[in-house]
Structure 1
């Protein structure tokens, strides 16, 4: 028998090998694999990075292209090319003065309008100068190519007219092209300002959370690399026409990837720190942390992805596209958090947490909960008064939810989409003062040639219609007026009437409305015309597009919200292997969402004085809040289930809260900060989504996940896992017989 002195080895190692008894070649693999992962992500991010400046090449902000094929406005839009060779967006140049325009004024403006054809992107067919009846304004219709840089062309048109305008004459560009230019300008800061604000906010929070220099950089690098690769993938899918990318989708993608990747990274770094305290070997710690984090991260990301993909059932093409775009972002956020970050932290080891490097403490694994910690103290409060805590929380949440009755989410005028200054909005106001409000944005009516006069008579008889024209290639202006006496040229008796352009037996009528195209009065007019012309004609145009968009959005949220809840409920049941716990989690999430929406309604109406909200705002708020809010449920309850299997349900609840409380709080604050960054883009929709999601996430973080869920589950006890093994006497830990109000130590 050998009498050699036994070799002293570190826990978790065996003589002759590394952690876990590594085989020959294992050390090389531990070096090569992380290096390979880091290299792959660096290369992919390097390729994707330049695409930040190319998004506008594949993005679209044309509202009509988002509609379903079944919408009347879409059918009309798709056929406009049959009646005119141009797909131009009409810009309405409005020139006003506080005095009557003189003949010299009108001549100078006429010359300037005529010379607009010299600008690249301005198509032929510029209308002559049209003086207002009051003599203090004039307008001209300028067709701008929709395939070019609309915002740039509009700016050039505005500048040229402004320079040529006589003293005292103001120039505005409105109409569809003007509003498109305003919207493009509002989204111009997405690639720069939005990213900088979001990353700066996240960096500050991470430095405060970690009190480290290297770790925040590693986490931010993980988020940015995930975003670069996601953008690269989405760009090419949009280029191929598989996805529709819009300004608002782009902004949401940026924020969602940064927020989600940071959240998943926070969960992994917390687990890695725990393992570094429990084992001396960073390789073993990496593997143990990855195994512990992969289930909650995969489950959380998978739940968000499934919730987002429910948007594929939307009839609105913009919503339908957002689902897969955002889901792809979450996929890359998960992959980065589970591959790139572990590789980076393995390379850095304990130095990643400097100056608060975690030390190897063998006793840590059996004493992971610090009874002096904030969330351990919260757990003791929950254990002492569980019923009082959850009833108080529910009462407060329901009080906030009462504000939902004041939510005005039935659509907003196009002129209110951009926050702050808007030349198109100012132009529309000037237009309404001196001309029919619908000038430049007529209702488009497609009718069979034989029903032309019948449809025109219906249009002319409506108080909301000022004038009717028919598209005609024979007319110098491209259209001819229609009266109750037929097609003719007003003011030129004896002139042969132009023949309407006929396509597949149909003609195109244009009805100028008396009210602005985005007003409630104009919408009422179009709805009335559709009713009067049912079975005879299709009514489209800007106003009809807004109507169809709002109606479709309302249908979508009625369908998608309950379906998303059902899908997430099933996922939670499979994850937690229980029924009661998932049902309670879904109920708390719904109450939390209702509270966020109710409080947001009060803020929008009485603090910010906003004009209302798009019908899709509640839907988007729901999808993001519920899908992302479930993340924190999963982070908490997977750890509670893990601890319950070891210590019993009630002690497991308190231990799970104590261990995950800091991570969930940090993740919630990060996610709220990233979504709040959307408010820097001056678009009404993004401002409202920013507030709803940021407030809702903070509510989830500090109230629902910290107090309400632990108190409810503590009150119910082991039955929370019904019908799973932990709910049965044989599967319960002895600690559940007499629950200890303090976390196990």
Structure 2
């Protein structure tokens, strides 16, 4: 049987690898892939792309010399602008207008290039313009900004993320597995299986793109990689720990693995189920980036689960006990009896469980107050952790042209009402200038320039006023879009999505927990616990994002995504703990004894799993996109809080206080306290204080 499973996986990987390599070719990072599906700005973006010449590549060419531009600088600028105008088709065939700054230090040229339909061609155009400028004379900076240059810079970031994220995560997981297992061989097995799951998930995702036109972005692809490594390694740690335990009781590795799968299999299945279903809840979100992330992440988790429940057991059984060398678990050997860290934690929680619970919740509540200090929605230039050329160019424009606005608000209106819309827009408070653009398929593009700077509070108010005024025009069907309108729609839609997705996630996770634990009280305890972890982690983010990391904004999707991941992933450790506690209760232990026993027996492996998951998301925090960095930080902090504070102290102390009520209204609630059997006295395999040592310390039998 193990050989058959291995052969099947070899065939699956051979089939998957060619298709996995194609996933990068269908990954999309168009603006509409990160916008709300039903928003005005999204409809504008799609209509603009359908106009003659396709979507425009908006470029701002900035020449700047701190001491003032020379005649040679101005001549160079004129030649470069003429060269670009001769090579590309400009919107309206207009000659680009060069605007000098009042202080004489800068020249700004705004160009809209048409005829470059599709993301790839737009990026090639912006990159080609940038590369064609050549080296500037000493003291003169020549930079390319605007939406087209920003898109090119974002594409370069996403291209660099795939390999960096994959190799960085693999390295982190490998180091942690070596430290955990202290074996020169064992760490390789989970890593190989994770690799197999990664290729499989990429191939499956590519198939879904072809079959159902699933949208895969750089963000969703990166998160899928993190989930496979993080969740997959967690499942491996739990299974290997239980397999080691069974090898001491059962002679044949095959039978020991079967017992291990029976013992921890339900917990792993429930864990993967909560993550998968929690991610699929994102399908109800209107934000395209959140909506698309759900199924992509779910594919990764399911592939990781299947690999860890089939391929990992097969390889371990075929390798036999020797894979654990030098700490080989011998049949009949007893684990060394030492007082573990989690035994100490459990004992401290059992002395004053009410005090521990109240204090812990108070601390988490205090940390959650830090959410009030979270910075607002970031401007477009604040989406990077570094400063690419497109951002540097716009900063130069902001300094040299204070109060100016070179970024248009795009209005789309029915062509037969275009003049009426143009006249109404020109009368709108806050509007400095209005230009009629291209027409096609019954629609006309109108560019509106606000008096205030891009994405400022003043320009946002102008956008809202425009929408109110233009929507009131009968028959015009006017839509207001553009970069600032997109930021407004993203913030509004993410707020609406939170009210839809968060309750759905809570209900779905609660139902999975009820099915696993046969209780209502225990699942509610776990839900409250992970929600507290999320609040505390977000509060810590509020305390450090701007003062420490210098992030001037929090992406509007962060609270929702962090909640989904922390609830779905964080509840895993509660599942592992509560499932073992239920198992011990079924064996005859009362709840207080079962809770402490579960903490002692699962504490080490769950701590290792929590550290691995936090470390993998920490890799995400090193990426050059602010959303990725913030998401990675919040989830890593939340997982660590859940692992070492919430699960260890709060869930355990709550169980000690609730006693048999933790299993209400299930069968265990009615049978607890009525047994005549043992109530958790020390077993033969336990130390005098009833604490088995979970650390893999080699005995003479194991080494010999």
1:616 to 546, 550, 557: 557
* Residues 1:552 and 2:493 are matched in the alignment: yes
1:378 matched residue in structure 2: 345
Partner of 1:664: 606
Instruction: Give the SS at the match of 2:600.
Output: helix
Could you give the per-residue CA deviations for residues 327-357 of structure 1, whole angstroms, max 9, x where no partner exists?
A: 0110001001100100110111111111101
Q: Name structure 1 gaps, 5 residues minimum.
A: 1-32, 473-500
Q: Is residue 42–residue 225 contact of structure 1 (8 Å, CA) maintained in 2?
A: no
Counterpart Cα distance in 2 of 1:267 and 1:651 = 22
Measure, in 1, the Cα distance between the counterparts of 2:453 and 2:11.
Answer: 52
Cα distance 1:52–1:738, how it changes in 2: closer, same or farther (>3 A)? closer
Q: Distance in 2 between matches of 1:61 and 1:610?
A: 23
Relative to structure 1, the CA distance from residue 739 to residue 464 in structure 2 (aligned partners, 3 Å threshold; closer, same or farther) is farther
Compared CA separation, residues 656 and 369, structure 1 to 2 (3 A): farther
Matches within 5 A, 1:335-484: 335-361=306-332, 370=337, 372-408=339-375, 410-434=376-400, 441-449=407-415, 451-462=417-428, 464-472=430-438
**8 Å Cα contact 2:35-2:289 kept in structure 1:** yes
Q: Does the CA contact (< 8 Å) of 2:600 and 2:691 recur in 1? A: no
Paired residues of 1:640 and 1:653 also in contact (CA < 8 A): yes
Aligned position for 1:498? none
- Is the 2:275–2:568 contact (alpha carbons within 8 Å) kept by the matching residues of 1? yes
- The whole-number CA distance in structure 1 between the counterparts of 2:668 and 2:400 is 75
CA distance in 2, matches of 1:113, 1:424: 17
Q: Aligned partners of 2:172, 2:206: CA distance in 1, in Å?
A: 26
CA deviation vs aligned residue, 1:613-668 (integer Å, no higher than 9, x gap): 01210111111111001110111111100001112222211111111001100000
- Identify the residue that residue 475 of structure 1 maps to in structure 2: none
- Whether 1:66 and 2:34 are equivalent positions in the alignment is yes
Deviation track 1:224-248 (CA, whole Å, cap 9, x = no partner) reads 1111111111123234562111111
**Residues 1:216 and 2:184 are matched in the alignment:** no
Deviation at 1:221, TM superposition (A): 0.9
* 1:720 corresponds to which of 641, 662, 677: 662
Larger Rg: 1
Larger deviation: 169-178 or 432-441? 432-441
Shift of 1:425: 1.0
The residue number in structure 2 matching 1:158 is 130
Are the equivalent residues in 2 in contact too, given 1:471–1:509 (CA < 8 A)? Answer: yes
Is it true that 1:650 corresponds to 2:592 in the alignment?
A: yes
Q: Quote the residue 1:311 is aligned against.
A: 282
Q: 1:86 — aligned with what?
A: 54
Counterpart secondary structure, 2:28: coil
Deviations 1:250-301 (A, max 9, x none): 1111101100000000011011101111011111111111222221111100
Cα deviation, residue 104, structure 1: 5.3
Cα deviation, 1:527-571, whole Å, max 9, x if unaligned, reads 121122222221112221221122111110122112211221121
Alpha carbons 2:382, 2:553 under 8 Å: kept: no
Q: Distance in 1 between matches of 2:38 and 2:349?
A: 54
Please name the residue that 1:530 is paired with: 467
In the alignment, is the contact (CA less than 8 A) between 1:651 and 1:744 conserved in 2? no
8 Å CA contact 2:85–2:95 kept in 1: the answer is: no
Cα 1:732–1:197 change in 2 (3 A) is farther
Count of aligned residue pairs for this structure pair: 676
For structure 1, which segment, 532-541 or 50-59, has the greater mean C-alpha deviation from structure 2 after superposition? 50-59
In 2, Cα distance between equivalents of 1:651 and 1:544: 58
Quote the residue 1:700 is aligned against: 642
**What secondary structure, in the 3-state scheme, does the structure 2 residue paired with 1:93 have?**
strand
Which deviates more from structure 2 when the two are superposed, residues 389-398 or residues 629-638? 389-398
Q: Structure 1 residue 691 and structure 2 residue 621: aligned? A: no
- With the length of structure 2 as denominator, give the TM-score of the two structures: 0.90
- Contact kept, 8 Å, 2:681 with 2:690, in 1: the verdict is no
TM-score, length of structure 1 as denominator length: 0.85
Q: Which whole-Å CA distance do the structure 2 matches of 1:405 and 1:108 have between them? A: 50
The answer to whether the aligner puts 1:138 opposite 2:138 as a matched pair is: no
Q: SS where residue 621 of structure 2 aligns?
A: helix
1:132 shift after superposition:
1.5
